[in-house]
Chain A
Amino acid sequence: MALLTEPLGGTIALEGARKVRGNLTQARIRWMILAMVLGFGLVGGRLVQLGMVVPDHSIEGQTRDVITATRPPILDRNGLEMAVDIRVPSLFAEPRRIIDVEEAVRDLRTVLPDLKEDWLRDRLTGDKGFVWVQRELTPAIQERVMRLGIPGVDFITESKRFYPAMSEASHILGSTNIDNQGIAGIERHMDSENVALLQDLGLARGNALAPVELSVDMRVQHVMHEQLSDAMTRYQAIAAAGVMMDVHTGEIVAMASLPDFNPNEPATALVKDTFNRVTSGIFEPGSTFKTVTVAGALDSGAVSLTDQFDARFGIRFGRFTIGDFHGKHRILSLPEVFKYSSNIGTIRIMQAMGKDNFREFLTRMGFDERVPFELPEMRLPAVPETLSEVGAATVSFGHGLSVSPLHLVTAYAAFSNGGNYVPPTLYKRDATEAQQLYRRVVSPQTSEAIRYLMRLNALEGSGSQMNKAAAGYRAGGKTGTAEKVVDGRYSSNKVTNFFASAFPLDNPRYAMVIMVDEPKAENPQSGTTAGWNAGAITGRIVQRVAPMLGIAPDFSEAIDLNLVPPALR
């Protein structure tokens, strides 16, 4: 209570009790409000502070999701896994949380003695939020490291690619790097399609990705790989390769190239000579190319199956004379030219067609450019832009140009499926999809004639070795022996051999090209020409895979007789 006195006998003003209490309440309320504001300000400030902290989700510049992203399994056409993801623990450290670096280094090296002490100490010192120590370890090592109980050292589960088929389909699959990104083969192609996008979005983690189905049949692939490995030792060759294609859909059923690598150990892919000879190797196709010349000439109408060609003397081009390897020195019919693989006859057939038309036909068959195909490992073919007289002559029997075995197999598929060029693929493709991609290159009649010639060659010509093994499966094809260029000259003892074939010829389903590089004779009785090695391999492969592909043998002669065109009956 306040008492105010005035000296001049003023009035006394007394504040009432209510007013006094009122004032006091006002003051208290103010203090309360202040306390509340301070309290909430403190909480709000802390919230802002927490919101400012950026959580470190990156691992050496990449987000954790990308590192731990999975890839879809790759299956063959029957659903057998060709590539799967396995989950492996990877050891990382957070240096800013390590208390005693020396102790951590010492303890870690008891479990991982391979790590260099200085490197590890350097790695664990500093203020980084994340460093890898060692990736892709085993669960057993993870257990032992966890028992050490070092603070600031932990594991993260990564996906690692594993290839159950080991090296059998290495060139098809390619491989991945430690970050699970495709670096070669179909793995790389998949990344360019959509997997990389998924991984970037972080959606690939934990979600089962739809498996990728390839056109490859692992059983056929195994047989081809095994036969080629067998050929490497049997003929002491420096390389061998093979590819098989479904002639109606363009699906690649098998593709192998030796020497190969083990995709589970990506370092083996860096060894010299392990490149894929089917797609990125280009070779002179030799006599296998005569099929192309004959098909082009027959299709243009310049020659017919009943025509005769003079093969008595070599053909002179200025200083050069081109002769036959096993000359018959007589007049040959067109089927005989094919059967005896006469260079002279083939040149005459090409000349009847005209070299410009011939060159145009090569373009139509796609020999000028890369085959449209999924694998990134492709090489451009080398075909002369314009052909001189002598150039056209050599090209007609497969010298003076270089194409890949994949080019050859696509051409043979087109010749045997009724004349439609269909681009090859490694993904599953059904007949209706394939038919939309068809491009007619030769007439059905030409296709029939070529099928007859290929079968004739198996029965009476250079394909007889092949036919011995594959009897009953109506296989046929054309051999090719190309001399290799050594020091700028053709060498007679270093050859590349081809056998391009199709089976069963009464109703073609598969085309195949087998290549053997620098083979030697298997025994003194055999030779080094293509029939002895590439042909024999083809026969053995057909014999093994035909039953798997649902082709029953048939020994009736009526089938072969039906293949003979009406003009020759």
Chain B
Amino acid sequence: MIRRINIFLVLTSIAMLAGVYAVKFSIEDTARHRTELIALIDSQEGELSILKADEAVLSQPGHIEPIIKRHEVALAMTPVRQEQFGAFEALPMRPAKPNTEAMDSLFLSLEAGVDPIAAILELEGIE
């Protein structure tokens, strides 16, 4: 009886030992993986910071204006002049709507064979 228990305990110890070592190795593996990831993140953050700095340089007015000046002819762009600004007050009023009823009646009478314009011209003596 005692012997069986002993054998069982020995086997359990061996199993546990194996388990502990397995966990230890997997932890080391995870730690290595973590370090690799940290290094990768670090290098990518570095690259990102440089890219952001590049973007900032490219979007500076001081960087863009010389380019526009070089390609002034192609772009047809110059700084805005006062005369180019309009105002709402300067816009002409919307033209009056065409008198649709009068036009309709004119076309109807034309279709009916009556030409009011020719009649007016005849009245005025223009021909």
Q: Contact: B79 with A218, CB < 8 Å?
A: no
CA separation between A561 and B18, bound complex, in Å?
A: 98
**B82 lies within 8 A of A471 (CB):** yes
Give the distance in Å from the alpha carbon of A334 to the alpha carbon of B53 in the complex.
55
Question: Bound complex: CA of A84 vs CA of B45, how far in Å?
Answer: 13
Task: Known A84-B52, A87-B49; judge A157-B62 contact (CB<8 A).
Answer: no
Q: Is A434 an interface residue (CB 8 A)?
A: no
User: With A166-B62, A222-B61, A552-B87 as given contacts, are A85 and B49 in contact (CB-CB < 8 Å)?
Assistant: yes
Cα distance A467–B39 in the bound complex, in angstroms: 60
| CB <8 Å contact, A219 and B61 | yes
Q: Are B79 and A472 in contact (CB under 8 A)?
A: no
- Write out, one digit per residue, whether chain B residues 55-82 have a CB within 8 A of any chain A CB (1) or not (0): 0110111100100000000000001111
Complex contacts, A80 vs chain B, CB 8 Å? 56, 59-60
Whether the Cβ atoms of A222 and B82 lie closer than 8 Å is no
Q: Does A164 contact B (CB under 8 A)?
A: yes
Complex CA–CA separation, A252 to B85 (angstroms): 27
Q: Are B49 and A86 in contact, with the CB atoms below 8 A?
A: yes
Q: In the complex the two chains form, what is the Cα distance from A553 to B82 in whole Å?
A: 6
* B42 interface contact, C-beta 8 A: yes
Determine which residue in A89, A165, A471 has the highest number of CB atoms from chain B within 10 A of its CB, and name it. A165
Residue A168 interfacial (CB < 8 Å): yes
| Cβ–Cβ < 8 Å partners of B19 in chain A | none
Which among A84, A89, A165, A219 is the interface contact of B49 at CB below 8 angstroms? Answer: A84
CB-CB under 8 A for A164 and B53, given A471-B82, A472-B82, A544-B79:
yes
Task: Return the contact of A164 from the options B43, B57, B87 (Cβ within 8 A).
Answer: B57
Range for the number of chain A residues in contact with chain B:
20 to 34
For the complex, is A162 an interface residue (Cβ under 8 Å from B)? yes
User: With an 8 A cutoff between CB atoms, is B46 at the interface?
Assistant: yes
Separation of A94 and B78 alpha carbons in the complex (Å): 59
Please provide the chain A residues from 61 to 97 with a CB less than 8 Å away from any CB of chain B in the complex: 80-81, 84-89
**A88-B46, A547-B80 are contacts. A162–B53 as well, Cβ < 8 Å?**
yes
Q: Which of B45, B50, B52, B82 interacts with A473 by CB under 8 Å?
A: B82
**In the complex, are the beta carbons of B60 and A168 less than 8 A apart?**
yes
| B59, B62, B65, B87: residue with the most chain A Cβ atoms closer than 10 Å | B62
**What is the distance, in angstroms, from A23's C-beta to the closest C-beta of chain B?**
23
Chain A min CB distance to B83 (Å): 8
- Given A222-B65, A472-B82, does the pair A157, B46 have CB atoms closer than 8 Å? yes
B85 surroundings in chain A (CB, below 8 A): 472, 547, 552-553
Residues of B within 8 A of A473 (CB): 82
A84 to B81, CA, bound (A): 35
12 A-B pairs within 8 Å (CB atoms) are namely: A84-B52, A84-B56, A86-B46, A87-B46, A87-B50, A165-B62, A219-B61, A225-B62, A473-B82, A544-B79, A553-B82, A555-B82
8 closest Cβ pairs, A-B complex: A164-B56, A87-B46, A81-B56, A222-B61, A553-B82, A472-B82, A164-B57, A86-B49
| Interface contacts beyond A226-B65, A543-B79, A544-B79: sample of 15 additional A-B pairs, CB < 8 Å, sorted by A | A80-B60, A84-B53, A86-B49, A86-B50, A86-B53, A87-B49, A89-B46, A139-B46, A164-B59, A222-B65, A471-B82, A472-B82, A547-B80, A552-B85, A553-B85
Residues of chain B touching chain A, judged by Cβ–Cβ distance below 8 Å, are 42-43, 45-46, 49-50, 52-53, 56-57, 59-62, 65, 79-82, 85, 87
